[in-house]
Amino acid sequence: MRVLVAPDKFKGTATAEAVTQAIASVVEAAGHVAVPQPMADGGEGTLEAFGGANRTTTVTGPLGDPVEAAWRLGSKRTAVIEMARASGLTLVGGPEGNDPLSASTTGTGELIDAAVGRGADHIIVAVGGSATTDGGWGAIQALVPTGRLRGLYLQVACDVRTSFVDAAAVFGPQKGASAAQVKLLTRRLERLVQVYEEQWGVDVSSLTGAGAAGGLAGGLAALGAQLSNGFEVVADAVGLYDQIETVDLVITGEGAVDATSFEGKVVGGVAALAADAGVPAVAIAGRVDPEFEPPIPVHTLEHAVGLDAAMTDPLDALTQVARQVVAVAGFAS
């Protein structure tokens, strides 16, 4: 039997690549063929879904310090950039180490410019995990003076649908912003709406997902970028539907399954494509929201070993649950 293994990361515990390999090993140990395909929805881990980094560029970090940002340049002149590698919250030590008012996307703009300089004519920017709420102004300042955006297809893989001005209120506290700072950031975003419309004729306040990465998505949209559903960008690029058509079972998963999992994220997206292809799909998750009834079977680490044990050794817990999934699905050796 052939089993497609296409999970997202288990945020904070295991990367999509690690989750994929753990599940695939169980499938192969049962004597079947695993088709590994780590997935992402435009957030952290998107680079790995495309095959991983093969370039590194020194850019300006979110608080001004230089950082070594990894990115990917493919054979068809398509570049994949994770803004978190240049302007991410983890680079400053999380919300405790962040300066929400000063954090800038300058490094992400520099990374895009570097990709153009290496010959990329299609650049995918994954925008999850940011430290910033600068509306993309830092990135724009790094890009516009170069004048190298003409003829470039710039695509933003959004992992949220948040509006531009709401970015501060929705995500500011997660980045260390106080209530007073959220108000200041919101006013700054409101002003940028006016600036972007005046300079480039784009009303970013009306664009779904423009608030991704603290408004970076909207800022890039003002320069002509296309805002796209992150899962769909990744799924199209890796030929996920074609892969699903060749298998007998699909296993997906993420750390926590709830209603939002089926609103543009990996688990719901994979399940929908599997349903279209007439292939059964199951998910593995750390836990499931008790108020939510998933439309596909979900096996949880919480039920199998308990959340404490799962957090201590997530890959061992994943392996145990994957064995249950393979057995329940009728593929046990």
Q: Average pLDDT for residues 178-200, to the nearest whole number?
A: 98
Q: Are residues 56 and 186 in the same domain?
A: yes
Ramachandran bin of 323, using left for φ above 0, alpha for ψ from -120 to 50, beta for the remaining angles: alpha
162 assigned to some structural domain: yes
Q: Are residues 248 and 270 in the same domain?
A: yes
Q: Are residues 25 and 174 in the same domain?
A: no
pLDDT value for 331:
54
One-letter amino acid at 310 equals A
pLDDT value for 112:
96
pLDDT in tens, 102-120: 999 999 999 999 999 999 9
Task: Work out the pLDDT band at 330, boundaries 50, 70, 90.
Answer: low
Q: Are residues 57 and 199 in the same domain?
A: yes
pLDDT value for 75:
84
Q: Average pLDDT for residues 73-99, to the nearest whole number?
A: 96
**DSSP letter for each residue of 151-218:** T-EEEEEES----TTTHHHHHGGGGT--HHHHHHHHHHHHHHHHHHHHHH---GGGSTTTTHHHHHHH
214 assigned to some structural domain: yes
pLDDT in tens, 228-272: 999 999 999 999 999 999 999 999 999 999 999 998 899 999 999
Q: How far apart are CA 162 and CA 171, in angstroms?
A: 9
Q: Are residues 56 and 168 in the same domain?
A: yes
Q: Are residues 307 and 264 in the same domain?
A: yes
pTM for this one? 0.90
Q: Are residues 29 and 87 in the same domain?
A: no
- 266 touches 231 (CB < 8 A): yes
Instruction: Look up the domain containing 280 and give its range.
Output: 2-39+239-328
333 assigned to some structural domain: no
Task: Work out the pLDDT band at 333, boundaries 50, 70, 90.
Answer: very low
103 assigned to some structural domain: yes
Q: Are residues 173 and 85 in the same domain?
A: yes
Q: Are residues 12 and 145 in the same domain?
A: no
Q: Average pLDDT over the chain, rounded to whole?
A: 94
Taking residue 75's Cβ as centre, other Cβ atoms within 10 Å add up to: 5
pLDDT value for 204:
98
pLDDT in tens, 124-140: 999 999 999 999 999 99
pLDDT in tens, 138-153: 999 999 887 778 889 9
Residue where a domain stops, chosen among 208, 231, 254? 231
Kindly report the CATH number assigned to the domain that includes residue 163.
Answer: 3.90.1510.10
Kindly report the CATH number assigned to the domain that includes residue 284.
Answer: 3.40.50.10350
User: 294-331 burial by CB neighbour count: b if 16+ within 10 A, else e?
Assistant: bebebbbbbebbeeeebeeebbebbebbbbebbeebeb
89 assigned to some structural domain: yes
pLDDT value for 11:
86
One-letter amino acid at 161 equals R
Does 46 have pLDDT greater than 60? yes
Residue where a domain stops, chosen among 180, 210, 231? 231
Residue where a domain stops, chosen among 162, 197, 231? 231
Q: Are residues 323 and 304 in the same domain?
A: yes
Residues 6+ apart with CB under 8 A from 294: 257, 261, 262, 283, 288
Q: Are residues 9 and 138 in the same domain?
A: no
Q: Average pLDDT for residues 62-90, to the nearest whole number?
A: 96
Q: Are residues 174 and 69 in the same domain?
A: yes
pLDDT in tens, 164-187: 999 999 999 999 999 999 999 999
Sheet containing 2-5: order of strands: 33-36, 2-5, 249-257, 281-288, 298-300
Number of domains in the chain: 2
